[in-house]
Every structure is written in C-alpha cells, then in structure tokens.
Amino acid sequence: MRNAALILGIIGGVVGMIVGFFSYGYTEFVDWFGNEVPDVLEQVDNVGLIRFMALFAPLLAIAGGAMAKSRAMIGGALMLLSAAGMYYAFRFNAFTMFPIAMCGLGGVLALAATKPDEH
C-alpha cells in the first residue's frame, strides 16, 4: 500500500502542477491583458488563493508521496491536505478530478498502511 501511495502522490502532484501552471498563467494573463472581456476573460474571485494553491498543493502531494514509504502518516496527511487544497481552490472539474482523486486515494492508502513506520 505504501508503494501505491508513493506512486499516486507523485503522479497526482505532477498532474496538479500542470493544472496549477495553467491556473497561475490564466490569472497572470488576465492581469496582463488589462481589462476583462465579459463572457470571455474574467478574473477569478480570489487571485491570491489560486496562485498560492497552484504552487503549494502539488508540492504537498509530491512531498507526501515521497514520504509515504518511510513516514506513512505524515505523507498521507500531506496528500490529503493537497487534495483538499486543490478542491478548495480549483473545485472539482474535468481538469482537477484526476489529481484530486489520486492525492486523496494515495493519502488514504498511506494512512491505512498497517506496517508501522520505519525508524
């Protein structure tokens, strides 16, 4: 289960980085473009939240996945925080369903690992 959590956390983080890159880029483009075009380009409600989660949610997923083998409880918690952060910032849609699901499942698998952590 730890190996599955490791793989799911890292893949979820990489896919989350792609989502985060485009989300951050969209907010920058709308700022650069200068004015919003109704029904075409509209700035998101909370730009700071989107930009923060675009960087830190995938980072938490990758770090949690990397820690899943040796520190399953911490790694699982980081992956679950990442999934919650992606859901809160980006909502659940066609682009975020895979990173959210992978990070969530990886976190659950890491927490459910029955073998005690190695010291």
> In 3D, which of 13, 23, 6, 38 has the Cα closest to residue 99?
13
pLDDT grade for 117, boundaries at 50, 70 and 90: low
How far is residue 9's CA from residue 3's CA, in Å, rounded to a whole number?
Answer: 10
* Residue 109 scores a pLDDT above 70: yes
DSSP state of 109: H
pLDDT digits (tens, 9 = 90+) for 7-66: 999 999 999 999 999 999 999 998 888 666 777 788 899 999 999 999 999 999 999 999
